Amino acid sequence: MRVAKDDVDVRMEIPGAVVRQRLDFGDVSGYDKISGEYFTLSAGVDTTPLFEGLEGNVCNCPHWGFVLRGRITTTDREGRQETVGTNDLFYWPPGHNVKVEDDAEIIMFSPQHEHSHVIDHMIRKTLG
């Protein structure tokens, strides 16, 4: 789910402050601790080979985040694609791969245990 900043409902606007809120932006029930993550990614990065060996060869962890700059396309298990770009909020449900279209920096919040498992797997893949 991609949401451009201007598409997030303005709930309150007073001099010096604008409060925007997107309701129902994913569900965290059933998860324990959340990690805050900052990723710097170069154009061309594709997680497909890094996720090989995970269940379904995809990342099975949900992520909520914000694109500081760049453009990233996710592909889900069914082959559906969605592209997020600078200033977009996003929710990536479990079951995705990621391809970086333009150099990007993103902030994500993810279930700590699940995403640590994915990151550890990627580290092992890069070590051979």
pLDDT of the residue at 76: 96
Which of 86, 59, 56, 82 has its CA nearest to residue 71? 86
Q: How far apart are CA 118 and CA 47, in angstroms?
A: 11
pLDDT of the residue at 33: 85
Q: How does pLDDT run across 42-93, given as a tens digit for each residue?
A: 999 999 999 999 999 999 999 999 999 999 999 999 999 999 999 999 999 9
pLDDT of the residue at 26: 73
Q: How does pLDDT run across 9-34, given as a tens digit for each residue?
A: 888 887 877 778 787 777 778 878 88
